[in-house]
């Protein structure tokens, strides 16, 4: 095993053995694998979106040269990721460069057949390769780097047991915007049994407590799922304009919702706490499909004593501040029932503009159909309303 000073850098890896998992089979990548499909993957903008190879067009010849180069490089190795069932070659995974002095190695991968994305191929391939790197090669630590918006990649590494070691701010430029580099790492001793999964829970920025004048937003946690909170969710006067009214709410359903937000890379959930009493009086959310896409806010003031006292406006203002200043969301949106005067008024005060009406979008408990009003605000608009908002609400 090439992990002592004397054989450093001279030895080629041992003959790569086949690594077989439930769904994924890894076998050594050879020149014969440089097929039209492989060339197609390397020229597919969706696939190379977060890869450094995207700056040039690729041909069979240059990929062949690349694969040959890897095969003679003592510090690099590459496997074909194949389906265990059919043997179909669906992507590649690379280990290297390996630093034999420190016994570390970097992993990069590509699932080229987009039809199998989201089926766990990447997670299993990383898991299999990690096991090989630690057990067969005696490596100590594995690393990987990912664009902050490459959620699939980050999740796959986290699922395979990697942790976020750090963030290099604004490290990449992608589609005219900067993106952080998420540095992922796995130290051998912490390796889980192959196939094990971990909650991902990675967020580019965890929310601290967001402090306002009369209210603060605290990241929602299990302890905040109190009887009072469940009571709000089931109270017809409070849930009148909320989708939760269709199902009976319980501690379990609330916990399920909290977990789904925790797992998301780009959604946030807070309890709204009143400074005066120290009590939680409501909740706020900011949800987005991915970092960089518009985010939708949501709010519930559950303590009726706090209705009409500015809690909603201050809470949403804090949400916008976090969403724009910290997360750089390009836009924040909200949807309200047309008849929900209090919420429509609050969103207007917040600086939002009406973007449209979805006619008869909802049916109230009394059978009446009501419109949904769509609201939106850009960072500049929100900022320019700040002075005005505080003047009228000081
Ligand atoms: C990133 C990539 C490797 C993920 O491969 P994959 O086989 O789809 O990944 P997995 O199925 O193992 O998915 C792991 C998790 O990411 C999620 N995921 C996958 N693609 C996603 C996407 N585009 N957006 C959001 N989540 C995604 C999966 O749903 C899964 O989440 P879960 O654990 O919560 O269920 C693949 O999309 C790819 O090759 N992209 C192009 C090349 C690239 O970017 N490589 C990584 C460079 S660091």
The 332-337 sheet, strands edge to edge = 210-211, 215-219, 268-274, 280-287, 295-301, 332-337, 369-377, 353-363
How confident is the model over 116-128, as pLDDT tens digits?
A: 999 999 999 999 9
Ligand 1 contact via 283 beta carbon (within 6 Å): no
Ligand 1 contact via 312 beta carbon (within 6 Å): no
Please state the length of the chain: 394
How confident is the model over 243-278, as pLDDT tens digits?
A: 888 899 999 999 999 988 887 777 899 999 999 999
- Residue 137's SS3 state is coil
How far, in Å, is the centroid of ligand 1 from the Cα of 122? 7
How far, in Å, is the centroid of ligand 1 from the Cα of 263? 14
Asked whether the whole model's pTM tops 0.85, one would answer: no
81 is written with which tokens?
A: 């990721």
Which domains does the chain possess?
A: 5-190 (3.40.630.30), 210-393 (3.40.630.30)
Residue in the structure block whose two tokens are 């809470």: 315
pLDDT reported for residue 368: 92
Residue 208 to residues 141, 217, 265, 318, Cα–Cα distance (Å) = 30, 9, 16, 12
How confident is the model over 24-36, as pLDDT tens digits?
A: 999 999 999 999 9
pLDDT reported for residue 197: 39
- Atom 22 of ligand 1, nearest CA residue: 152
167 is written with which tokens?
A: 């963030």
> Which parts of the chain have pLDDT scores under 70?
1-15, 189-205, 291-292, 387-394
Ligand 1 contact via 109 beta carbon (within 6 Å): yes
């Amino acid at each position: 095993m090439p992990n002592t000073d004397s054989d450093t850098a001279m030895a080629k890896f041992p003959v790569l053995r086949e690594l077989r998992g439930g769904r994924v089979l890894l076998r050594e990548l050879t020149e014969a694998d440089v097929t039209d499909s492989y060339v197609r993957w390397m020229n597919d903008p969706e696939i190379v979106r977060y890869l450094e190879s995207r700056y040039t067009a690729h041909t069979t010849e240059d990929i062949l040269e690349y694969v040959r180069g890897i095969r003679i490089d003592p510090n690099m190795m590459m496997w074909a990721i194949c389906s265990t069932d059919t043997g179909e070659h669906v992507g590649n995974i690379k280990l290297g460069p390996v630093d034999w002095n420190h016994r570390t190695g970097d992993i990069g991968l590509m699932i080229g057949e987009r039809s199998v994305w989201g089926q766990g191929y990447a997670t299993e391939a990383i898991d299999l390769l990690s096991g090989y790197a630690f057990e067969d090669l005696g490596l100590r630590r594995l690393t990987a780097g990912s664009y902050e918006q490459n959620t699939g990649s980050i999740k796959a590494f986290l699922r395979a047991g990697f942790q976020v070691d750090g963030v290099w701010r604004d490290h990449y430029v992608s589609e005219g915007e900067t993106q952080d580099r998420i540095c992922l790492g796995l130290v051998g001793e912490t390796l889980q049994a192959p196939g094990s999964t971990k909650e991902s829970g990675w967020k580019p920025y965890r929310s601290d407590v967001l402090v306002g004048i009369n209210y603060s937003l605290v990241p929602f946690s299990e302890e905040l799922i109190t009887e009072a909170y469940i009571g709000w969710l089931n109270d017809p006067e409070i849930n009148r304009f909320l989708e939760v009214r269709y199902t009976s709410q319980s501690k379990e359903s609330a916990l399920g919702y909290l977990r789904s937000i925790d797992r998301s890379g780009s959604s946030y959930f807070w309890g709204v706490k009143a400074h005066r009493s120290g009590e939680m009086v409501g909740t706020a959310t900011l949800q987005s499909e991915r970092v960089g896409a518009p985010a939708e806010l949501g709010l519930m003031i559950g303590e009726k004593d706090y209705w009409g006292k500015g809690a909603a406006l201050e809470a949403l203002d804090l949400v916008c501040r976090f969403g724009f200043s910290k997360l750089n969301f390009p836009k924040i949106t909200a949807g309200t029932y047309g008849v929900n005067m209090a919420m429509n008024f609050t969103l207007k005060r917040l600086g939002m503009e009406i973007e449209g009406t979805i006619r008869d979008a909802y049916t109230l408990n009394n059978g009446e159909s009501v419109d949904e009003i769509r609201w939106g605000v850009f960072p500049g608009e929100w900022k320019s309303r700040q002075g005005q908002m505080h003047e009228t609400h000081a």
